[in-house]
Amino acid sequence: MKKKISPFLGLAIAAFLLIASFSVLHDQMQDYRLADIQRSFSNISNVQIAISLVFTLLGYVAMTGYDAQALRYLCQPLSYRRTAAANFISTALSNTIGFAMLTGGAVRYRLYSAWGISALTTAEVIAFSSFTFWLGLFVLGGIDFLLAPLAIPPDLHFPFATARPLGGLFLTLIGGYLLCSATLRQSIQLGKHRLQFPSLSVTLAQTVLSSLDWGMAAAVLYALLPMKDISYISFLNIYLLAMTAGVLSNVPGGAGVFETVIVLLLAGTVPGEAVIASLLAYRVIYYLLPFGLAVGLLGYRELSLRMSTSLG
């Protein structure tokens, strides 16, 4: 019974968060005119777009290290060109479509199986990469939320007034993971599965890659904002909180949830219409462009395979 209920519970929570976020966002947007948003969008300079594209590239390059590090840890030799392709295509698709385990996982299974990697190893790569993704949030968010806690707007209905409790939780989790990696060499039995912590050096590599990923993603949006009276570090704090809410919602790309938090937390610092315009540009540059490229690469590969099979 629990197995039947849990998927529906997850969908119900995601639907509730999405509806609530769009409701708040709709209320916020009542204060802005479409013409003002369009003007702010057109005011984003080519230099800003170029800088955001560079940060996007750097962020996705950092993410390709997730799979490369995973296969190195699992002692499964595979060229970086292939691991990078698998990571980029699966990540770009899952970032936009959502449900990463289903969309990104299916792509990884398809690609890695063609390169001689077993289904079990692919599942381990997916788990390793998924966990690596969270490490950067735990480190950067933990430090930021604890040292400079944001006041959370009442409209978000969070169970706490500031982000400090999240910071404490994140640093506790990352501290425990680092401690286990440094001291535990034997695997741990968890139900039907055995958990083997990677070495401390592998864990530190995971943390650095993930921190770079999160830092570059925040820099993409920061570069698209107009002249602002907010430092990158302060904005990173806002971005991480918004992404935390977006990721936990399980809504594709955190759509709606992410924007709501950004708009609310930047209110009074950056003009609202400029924030919305920057968010639209961010969605195009960081999500839609990589998504289109990933679809093209995957389509080209599948077409090439079909042609080689028919000719053979």
pLDDT at 11: 45
Q: What is the dihedral of CA 32, 36, 38, 40, to 10 degrees?
A: -110
What does the pLDDT read at residue 308? 63
Q: What is the largest CA-CA distance in the chain?
A: 65
Q: What's residue 156's pLDDT?
A: 66
Looking at the domain assignment, is residue 21 inside a domain?
no
Query: How far is Cα 133 from Cα 128, in angstroms, rounded to an integer?
Result: 9
Residue 153 lies in a domain: yes
User: For residue 9, what pLDDT is reported?
Assistant: 44
What's the CA gap between 211 and 303, in Å, rounded? 36
Q: Is 270 exposed, middle or buried (0-12, 13-18, 19+ CB in 10 A)?
A: buried
Q: How far is residue 271 CA from its own chain's centroid?
A: 26
Query: Which residues have C-beta within 8 Å of that of residue 93, sequence separation ≥ 6?
Result: 103, 104, 107, 291, 294, 295, 298
* Within a domain: 24: no
pLDDT number for residue 151: 82
Which pLDDT score, from 0 to 100, does residue 252 have? Answer: 52
| Residue of 245, 263, 225, 283 lying closest to 24 (CA atoms) | 263
DSSP annotation of 160: S
Q: What is the pLDDT of residue 41?
A: 76
Q: How many domains are contained in the chain?
A: 1
Q: According to the model, what pLDDT value does residue 7 have?
A: 45
Residue 232 lies in a domain: yes
The secondary structure element, H or E, covering residue 194 is strand 193-195
What are the Cα distances from residue 265, in Å, to 47, 216, 278, 299? 26, 20, 14, 40
**Domain extent at residue 153:** 36-311
User: Do the Cβ atoms of 87 and 64 come closer than 8 Å?
Assistant: yes
In a domain, 186, yes or no: yes
- pLDDT value at residue 194: 65
Give pLDDT, residue 28: 46
3-state helix, strand, coil in the chain (%, to 5): 80, 5, 20
Q: CB of 35 within 8 A of CB of 271?
A: no
- Do the domain assignments include residue 197? yes
CA dist 301 to 12, 57, 119, 298, 304, Å? 37, 22, 20, 5, 5
pLDDT reported for residue 87: 93
Give the list of residues 6+ apart from residue 76 with CB closer than 8 angstroms, or none.
117, 121
Do the domain assignments include residue 11? no
pLDDT in tens, the chain (312 residues): 444 444 444 445 445 444 544 454 455 445 555 665 677 777 899 999 999 999 999 999 999 999 999 998 888 888 999 999 999 999 988 877 766 667 778 888 888 988 889 998 999 899 889 889 889 999 999 999 888 888 877 766 677 788 888 899 999 999 988 888 888 766 666 666 666 778 888 889 999 999 999 999 999 999 999 877 788 998 999 999 888 877 766 555 555 678 888 888 888 788 878 888 899 899 889 988 999 898 888 888 878 777 766 555
Both tokens of 27, joined, read 């209320």
Q: Please tell me the pTM assigned to this model.
A: 0.81
- Cβ atoms < 10 Å from Cβ of 34: 10
Residue 6 lies in a domain: no
Closest to 255 measured CA to CA, from 242, 266, 268: 242
